[in-house]
Structure 1
Amino acid sequence: MLQAKPIGRGLTGSILSLSLLTVMAGAAVAPALNVIQAHFAQSSQTFVQMIISIPALFIVITNFFFPKLCRRLNPRTLVLLGLSLYTAGGCAAGLFDQIGLVLVMRALVGVGVGILMPLSTGLLTDYFPPEKQAALLGISSAMNQLGGVIATLLAGLLAGISWRASFLVYLLGLGSILLCLRFLPKGWIPRQAPTAQAADTPAPGGRRTFFVYVLAMFLLMSTFFLYPANFALETSGDGVIGQQYIAAIMAGADLVALFGGLLFVRIQGVLRGGTKVFAPLLFLVGYLLLTFLGGWAGTLLGSACIGFANGAGIPFLISEAARRAGKDATTTVLPLLSAALYLAQFLSPLLLRALTAMVGDVPHLSYYFALAIACLFLLWSLRIPARARR
């Protein structure tokens, strides 16, 4: 029997570079939104805000068609198609003065990330044996957070030049294109041979088997996304921390999330079965600190807890779901997890807006809402099946 060629660092770096880009889908130009809004002053504020939210909607739509794309195109072609839509659509949005055309380009970014997001984790489960996947998924989560830090800083600097320049942050996709052209193999993926530590056999029931993980991902991202969407408004409203420090605190939370991803395997080794409640408990602690302690101490500690919970929680859910799906993870559970993640980003601000309309302008309402979702996340996490004893 022929042995597979050893996997080099170039291939590993190529796949991980996709994780650096995916989180930037909508949030990359968020620091420039006020400058963009000033240029499109004659347009509806809702349309301007859709510049940030519409990629998430098209990511969700694309994820539902992703398995069909996988049957028609090989992984390398899919990756290059996704990267091309991401880079070209992202940069081209700055060329137009019509808000409708800008939103069309942002939709193309969403389609590109909808292709890339399942592949950024699926290729790790396809090319690497099970005993290496958990560590690499943790690094992938860390790269997501690092991408958020890089995107925020670059977009803020480019926005100082012009609103059009802020969209040039998507040129970072060119680096991934070059890496994937050089190192990503052509043709279809060779499946890993079974090992002593192979994934558990997935239970029957098709996609229904993975519902527990998909809903858990939706609850996790709903809990987390209320932080970046509302932190600046909540903190400035308290009047304790100056506006000039808010961006730095949020970037610090992203850095803490990076370490959450890097330390995920060690956390799982220590907590074992308790890992499934680690992220929801940490979210609860974080939002409790933000809501009831406040000030510098509560804000910094709460932000750190929320960032770390996000960084460690995402790779846990992906690795556990991929373990149950086995070799079919790329076309079964991973697109569903990606759809749940971005659907939460799209819906959570809308749900908060509806709640605000019902109860009025209550101080720290977004934090109370996040606490309620974190409680649901904790209860639902108890349903995640434990690993079988070996």
Structure 2
Amino acid sequence: MTETINKNSTLLKVGVLSISTLLTAAGAVSGTIPMMAKEFTNQSTAQVQALITIPSIGMVIFILLSSLIIKKIGKRKTVLLGLILGLIGGIAPFFTNDFHIIQIARFILGAGNGLYSTSTASLIGDIWKGDEQRNLLGYQSAIQTFGQSLAVFVAGLLIGINWHTAYLVYLIFIPIIILFVLGYTSKTEKTIQLQQKEAASHKKVEKKTTKLPIIAMIAILMSFVYFNAIMPQQTTTPLVIQALGLKHQEMFSTALAVAGLVGAVITAFYGKIYRIFKHYTPVLAMLMAIVGYVGVIYSPNMIIFTISMFIISGSSLIFPYIYGAVMEDVPSTSKDFFLSVAKVFNNGGAYISPYTMAATASMLGITGPINTIKIAMGYLFFAGLVFVILAIVRNKKANKSLIDDKAIKRA
């Protein structure tokens, strides 16, 4: 018999959830770009701007490597290594004026984030199941968004001193490391590993009998489509405001920032929302994004535009659903790998979105920001339709399993 984990431990939950705080905060220092461009006159503007995107490269590479590293040194040490690299890479620009060292530091920040990125969801799947797992996945996505907003706010305050100081925002990694070490102890990890070994011993034929997790794979592909379609909320809606000639266009940044927070609040209630909509939850997410986009392109003023942005952000419900679907459908031995794939597809979809939107517009022979939003709505409609089909298939499987279980009990 292995020891049990106190799943109701507040310290354990805080420790596991805390690691999501700075996961998407690499761009928090984007306000330093104009000041750095003035200082590094021997570098092109594009090279200075690339400091914001370099972490994405490191993140994708090390997301793919993370499952291999976890097998070598364990999940706890991998997360700690990622957090420590994030801290080092994050604050290094504070201490140097060497542009190339800053580039390397930004890559290290992304590499660190990539190492623990998958574990933000998989640790929840290792410990909690059912409704509690879904609740925590919702909180995890919300904390990720709140953390990004917090980092942007703090960096904005620090930039008032100089651009070097803005990078001290990544000192937030220190309390995160402390919370994780105290909450997710080595004893907790050993207990989980023993439980997983015991579970595996009762499933010796799993490799022979387990089929490919087709539903999870399709869900991951649809998240790729979703990210292609949702990025225009950031990249194209400012141009829509201009095309519509709305007054008070300066409200856009505030609208976008608050919309992110609204999305985080909605996602925090994911567990309760899932209990109502079940596997139709991603369909609800796609509908919210489509309705929000309709509001954006037909906005008569900035108030309606801002409300529409809030509705679009509610579609962030898709994040915890995808990770939950992977953990539900994929064998435990493959969970980390498939979560890594999901993270890569999400980042990849966001990265190529401007190119996909432009290519689709070119194929259709249309131009303009409003048409780009309409294309994004088409993508969302397609993804929603696929999620409807997946929900029907899941429900049929669940009903069949229920009938089979009843037949076995009668026998």
What do the CA deviations read for 1:22-60 (whole angstroms, capped 9, x no partner)? 1213x2223443333343444223322322222222222
> Which shifted more, 232-241 or 316-325?
232-241
Task: State the 1:124 CA deviation.
Answer: 0.4
Q: Structure 2 matches for 1:1-390, cutoff 5 A?
A: 1-7=1-7, 8-25=9-26, 27-186=27-186, 187-188=189-190, 189-190=192-193, 191=195, 204-206=210-212, 210-235=216-241, 238-242=244-248, 244-310=250-316, 312-328=317-333, 330-352=335-357, 362-384=368-390, 385-387=393-395, 388-389=398-399, 390=402
Q: Retained in 1: the 8 A contact 2:55–2:111? A: yes
What do the CA deviations read for 1:272-297 (whole angstroms, capped 9, x no partner)? 34223111111111111111225223
Counterparts of 1:90 and 1:336 in 2: how far apart (Å)? 25
Aligned with 1:20: secondary structure? coil
What do the CA deviations read for 1:176-208 (whole angstroms, capped 9, x no partner)? 1111222222154333687xxxxxx99844476
What do the CA deviations read for 1:97-124 (whole angstroms, capped 9, x no partner)? 4443322211111111111111011000
Counterparts of 2:293 and 2:348 in 1: how far apart (Å)? 22
Task: State the 1:246 CA deviation.
Answer: 2.4
Q: Which runs of 5+ in 2 are unaligned?
A: 200-205, 403-411
Q: Retained in 2: the 8 A contact 1:148–1:254? A: no
Q: Retained in 1: the 8 A contact 2:59–2:110? A: yes
* Aligned residue pair count: 382
What do the CA deviations read for 1:66-123 (whole angstroms, capped 9, x no partner)? 2211110111111110001111101113444444332221111111111111101100
Structure number with bigger Rg: 2
> Which shifted more, 138-147 or 216-225?
216-225
Q: Retained in 1: the 8 A contact 2:280–2:388? A: no
What do the CA deviations read for 1:109-161 (whole angstroms, capped 9, x no partner)? 11111111110110000022334111110111111111122122122222222
> How high is the TM-score relative to the length of structure 2?
0.83
Counterparts of 2:16 and 2:334 in 1: how far apart (Å)? 16
> Which shifted more, 212-221 or 12-21?
212-221
Q: Retained in 2: the 8 A contact 1:207–1:333? A: no
Q: Retained in 2: the 8 A contact 1:142–1:259? A: yes
Percent of aligned pairs with the same amino acid? 22
Counterparts of 1:329 and 1:155 in 2: how far apart (Å)? 38
Q: Retained in 2: the 8 A contact 1:94–1:102? A: no
Counterparts of 2:82 and 2:341 in 1: how far apart (Å)? 17
Aligned with 2:298: secondary structure? helix
**Matching residue's letter, 1:276:** P
Q: Retained in 2: the 8 A contact 1:223–1:283? A: no
Cα-Cα RMSD: 2.8
Higher relative contact order (CA 8 A, sep 6+): 1
> How high is the TM-score relative to the length of structure 1?
0.88
Q: Retained in 2: the 8 A contact 1:256–1:307? A: yes
Task: State the 1:15 CA deviation.
Answer: 1.0
Q: Retained in 2: the 8 A contact 1:125–1:329? A: no
Q: 1:323 to 1:62 in 2, by over 3 A?
A: same
Q: Retained in 2: the 8 A contact 1:86–1:113? A: yes
Q: 1:294 to 1:113 in 2, by over 3 A?
A: farther
Q: Which runs of 5+ in 1 are unaligned?
A: 195-200
Counterparts of 2:241 and 2:74 in 1: how far apart (Å)? 47
Q: Retained in 2: the 8 A contact 1:118–1:330? A: no
1:198 match: none
Q: Retained in 1: the 8 A contact 2:231–2:350? A: yes
Q: Retained in 2: the 8 A contact 1:125–1:133? A: yes
> Which shifted more, 258-267 or 350-359?
350-359
